Amino acid sequence: MNFSNFLLMRHEILLLAITLLLLVGEIFIHKNKKGSLVHLAIFLFGIHTAVGFLQIEESSLFGGMFRTNNMIHFFKNVLNIGVFILLLQSAEWLQEKIVNQDRGTEFFILLFSSLLGMYFMISSGDFLMFYIGLELSTLPVAALAAFETSKRISSESGIKLILSAALASGVSLFGISMLYATSGSIYFNEIVEVISASNLTVLGFFLFFAGLAFKISLVPFHFWTADVYEGAPISVASYLSVISKGAAVFILMILMFTIFKPLMHVWENMVYVVAIATMFIGNLFALRQQNMKRFLAFSSIAQAGFILLGLITGTQLGVATIVYFVLIYIFSNLAAFGVVQAISLKTGKENMDDYNGLYRTNPNLSLVMMLALFSLAGIPPVAGFFGKFFLFTAAASKGYYLLVFLAVVNVTISLYYYLLVIRAMFIRKNENPIPFFKNKLYMRLGLLITVVGILVLGLYSPLYDYIYELSSFLN
Amino acid sequence: MNFTYIILIPLIPFVVFLLLGIYNKKIKPAVSGYIGVTGLSTSTLLSFYTAYQYFFVHGKVNGVYQTLVHKTTWMNFTDTLAIDMGVLVDPISIMMLIVVSIISLMVHIYSRGYMKGDEGYTRFFAFLSLFSFSMFGLVLAANLFQIYIFWELVGVSSYLLIGYYYTKNSAVAAAKKAFIVTRFADLGFLIGILMVGYYTGTFDFETLNNPEGSAILNWASTSFMGLSVITWALILIFIGGAGKSAMFPLHIWLPDAMEGPTPVSALIHAATMVVAGVYLVARLFPMYYFVEDGFALNIVAYVGAFSSLFAAIIAITQTDIKRVLAFSTMSQLGYMMLALGVSGYDGHEGVGYMASMFHLFTHAMFKALLFLGAGSVIHAVHSNYLKDMGGLRKYMPITNATFLIAALAISGVFPLSGFWSKDEILVAAFEHNKLIYGVGVFVAGLTAFYMFRLYFGIFWGKNTQYKHAPHESPLSMTFPLIVLALITVFSGFIPFSEFISADKIGFETHINYPVALLSSFVAVSGIVLATIFYKKENDLSDKFAKAFGPLYKWARDKFYFDEIYMFVTKKILFNSVAENIAKFDKKIVDGTMEGIGNKTVVVSEKIKRMQSGKVQDYAFAFIAGVVIIALVFIYMLGN
């Protein structure tokens, strides 16, 4: 056995090591300085994120169960960056509410296990590894959603998530077993050679698809989203809407563009219908939301609908535009959630009306929020515009003009409700607005990174060129 | 000649914007005004320098004005489609630079007086600079992608400017309306861009507009529902332009946008942003003209002519002076569109194209003058309504004189600038389409009539007793009026056709006496009629309004277009669809969540209800979703 092979699993091993270090570290941390556990976690994860950018070989392990290449590597880095920002934004919450109760390590173990699951899911070379990764990525999040044990709404959120997730992964597993039945293998590279559009295979595919569609919150598998986001701690809602969704999109895209490519004539119609339903349902529900977390939940459903415009193409351009879009989406959504988090932590307020007159008292937070919403709405020159424009171009390049038209209609609807928040912050008057407060360093850093991302990612073209190059692995 | 330096023209206002935006609180208002004016003066000087260099020194090679593009590849979008960023220098982009910089500079200077003492003075100048930056960027854009970015930026910055009085609810609503309506129009623009990009493999104007290029020659290779795909794309792009230029039926945002500060109206709604649509069609003119024998161009012509007539009729009945000017703008923009629509390409055939650009130029000057004059009046009497005005000529001589010049110009009275440009438009229409020519002449009469109704209503008419005697505005406000009035008097003599023409070669124009005499006669009749009705206080106009009864009311209420839109959006979209969805969300999805936390008594029961069912509902939806999708598609597969 050549141990250097394990270097291929560098991401996974390192993350595991960090988790263990934190476990041990907690013992040594002085009682009065419990907060330093958070510093340690951020420091270690920062190193992990940085190290992730080192080049890696393209190869596979365990007889093809685990594989990695530059694109997969890139995906993991994207997730790392997202989690890193998330940690920065959650630091204060963790220090004030969680670490004091000696539950800090618990939080990190759960969070990092889930991330580990995503790594494995993305790197999977067969359905077994995929399934293990899927479960590992979901179950800890359910525990995290129920993390604020003092709040009933949080427990409810956890229960809802675990029940829905169990159902989804069960359905997915059922689908996988059908695929095994028709192809006689669970290895991706073997399945792709024998797969054909028989009824059983197609049924298997749909069941499998439903499992991932659940994680991405596509209609009609989205019902859990708003309830869970509303109840869960904001960091966890943010994680679900950004990291978890991103990872699921990546693996779904890989599988649909490789092993299920021969079924494309079947699934492109389905993606078409699901895309339209997802965009419209997400947007129309978002129109009248008052709670910011519910609001962002529906907005994130609508955003997932846009991703399908790239998925439907099945081309290299589709891959590149999806990855680019997801990357930008991570930054924009983290910025929005970050502001909600900051305000909720300081004042406990989560309703849109509470944001009235925010610009007067907290101009910087309002500006961050405005940029985030502009980016989500796709207004140039912020990054979100480029992400959307390119997705639309990809769909148009395959002649899906009607779909693009409907998508643009949805962009306009979404603009309306994003403007509602902006109006609340900048224009509406408020007798007792949220008072001025100063964020701690970590939060400011977390927001700053997202703002830089929103401003720069769209205009910095080498990034897209790089992603486009990586996307060629599918051909 | 390298024109790369003109990138400074947009960059300077952008830097000013950053400066004023970031140091909002630290800069004294007076200083921020100076910074804004200085920044824009520099841009204006550069624009004039560029115009001189281009038109008189370097631009012309063998009698043809060159299209110069300085660009770099920004991104290799796919293996075949690269997106560039750059600046495009040709006669119309230079002309637009001049228009935008002059008007913007005048508005900057004017605002120093008009906005004095206003809370958020610095913010106002920051937004003005942002807008100027976006507009310069739009004008200089070298490809469709780039123009779209700036197109949206212009929308954003005008949203900020219209909504500037954010304490005024109507201003906020108007800003939102303008933004959303134009966004809907941009929907067409965006899809049009994607289609052009996909079928021609390029976004670059230079390549697209080449009459011998593949984009134009191969238009017939693809078709959709009986028309070339490229024609569809051009129609969609025109929808985008129609939204910005307030063409019927996408005009509803323009009158409401008058809620913004008056200098903003002068800048955005008279001279710059609203002409972006005309500019866009002109920018792609060779495509409009050559593809499918100008099918899309015909649409432009008829939409323009209809909007022009429609708006002129409404303008007669309005009593808010800014709204009169708003509808007048819409009407004149229709004029420009129809001129493009009836234009040919070579030599004198292209007179419509030239006339459209000429009118864009002259109209920008006198309409900005009218708006700024109206602002001066509003500043003095603190009202927008005609009923609160009258007899102001005694109090405000400069405003009176300049307003009169502008009113004569827009009516097309010799020898002011409006006469020349309007005359060219009518010549073009006369030579190509008699119906549109008829509409044009009629609108010319209406224009003269409503303009002088406005003029007499403000400066003559009844002798209103003012509580505080109105007085002439300060120099910072009258100076721009005088400058614009001078331009309005003299700019008609610029030999426009030598500089700007569809084929870029330049030609000579001569007055077409029958056309000129008829239009002058119509204009003078309109003025005379208005003089009889409105110069002295009398009840003639009321009698006429009564005589026309329902027709008058119909026009006064803008043909109920706002109501129609309101019905569709409010009643159908919000109340029927969104409301029910919200209810569904509230009752069924949200039901269990309600009350948790604050009503401890209810909590247990709620929890019980939650345990008993809701996740099952979700599970049911989930399974049903999978089964339905699977069944439908397997069934389809079977067939």
Residue A268 corresponds to which tokens in the numbers above?
């492109």
Place of tokens 């003209």: B289
- pLDDT computed for residue B597 by the predictor: 31
User: pLDDT tens-digit profile of A51-74?
Assistant: 888 877 777 777 778 888 888 889
- pLDDT computed for residue B602 by the predictor: 42
Q: Given an 8 Å threshold on Cβ–Cβ distance, is A224 in contact with B194?
A: no
Q: Which of A206, A226, A405 sits opposite B589 (nearest CB)?
A: A226
Give me the residue spans of the domains in chain B: 4-556, 557-590, 593-639
- pLDDT computed for residue B398 by the predictor: 83
Residue A60 corresponds to which tokens in the numbers above?
């596979």
Q: Given an 8 Å threshold on Cβ–Cβ distance, is A203 in contact with B630?
A: yes
A338 backbone dihedrals φ, ψ, rounded to 5°: -60, -45
Q: Given an 8 Å threshold on Cβ–Cβ distance, is B610 in contact with A156?
A: yes
- pLDDT computed for residue A2 by the predictor: 67
- pLDDT computed for residue B382 by the predictor: 79
Residue B567 corresponds to which tokens in the numbers above?
């019905």
- pLDDT computed for residue B606 by the predictor: 43
CA-only gyration radius of chain A, Å: 21
Asked if pLDDT for residue A452 goes beyond 90, the answer is yes
- pLDDT computed for residue B576 by the predictor: 55
Least Cα distance to B447 among B408, B395, B393 occurs for B408
* Average pLDDT of the segment spanning A90-119: 87
Asked if pLDDT for residue A1 goes beyond 60, the answer is no
C-alpha distances in angstroms, B473 versus B372, B387, B406, B459, B469?
Answer: 11, 21, 18, 15, 12
B371/B378 Cα distance (integer angstroms): 10
Least Cα distance to B444 among B469, B419, B467, B463 occurs for B419
pLDDT grade for A381, boundaries at 50, 70 and 90 = confident
| A248 CA to centre of own chain | 8
Residue B228 corresponds to which tokens in the numbers above?
């070339």
Amino acid at A362: N
pLDDT: is A178 or B584 the higher one?
A178
Q: Measured between CB atoms, does A270 come within 8 Å of chain B?
A: yes
Q: Given an 8 Å threshold on Cβ–Cβ distance, is B633 in contact with A415?
A: no
Task: Say what the pTM is.
Answer: 0.81
Residue B550 corresponds to which tokens in the numbers above?
């329902």
A247/A254 Cα distance (integer angstroms): 11
* Average pLDDT of the segment spanning A118-135: 92
A418/A369 Cα distance (integer angstroms): 10
Q: Which of B76, B184, B577 sits opposite A284 (nearest CB)?
A: B577
The ipTM, to two decimals, is 0.76
Mean pLDDT by 10 residues, chain B (639 residues): 82 88 76 86 90 82 79 77 83 89 89 77 84 91 88 83 69 72 81 84 83 74 75 89 84 79 83 88 88 83 88 81 87 90 81 88 89 85 78 80 88 83 86 85 87 83 71 80 87 80 77 80 81 69 65 64 61 54 47 36 39 62 81 74
- pLDDT computed for residue B138 by the predictor: 92
Q: How many cross-chain Cβ pairs, A to B, lie less than 8 Å apart?
A: 168
A330/B615 Cα distance (integer angstroms): 28
- pLDDT computed for residue B252 by the predictor: 78
Q: Which residues of B touch A381 (CB under 8 A)?
A: 149, 153
Q: Measured between CB atoms, does B194 come within 8 Å of chain A?
A: yes
Specify the 3-state DSSP secondary structure of A248. Answer: helix
Give me the residue spans of the domains in chain A: 3-474
Q: Given an 8 Å threshold on Cβ–Cβ distance, is B615 in contact with A160?
A: yes
Specify the 3-state DSSP secondary structure of A222. Answer: coil
User: pLDDT tens-digit profile of A5-22?
Assistant: 777 788 888 899 999 888
Place of tokens 């439908």: B632
Q: Which of residues 398-427 of A touch B (CB under 8 A)?
A: 401, 404-405, 408-409, 411-412, 415-416, 419, 423, 426-427
Q: Given an 8 Å threshold on Cβ–Cβ distance, is B149 in contact with A380?
A: yes
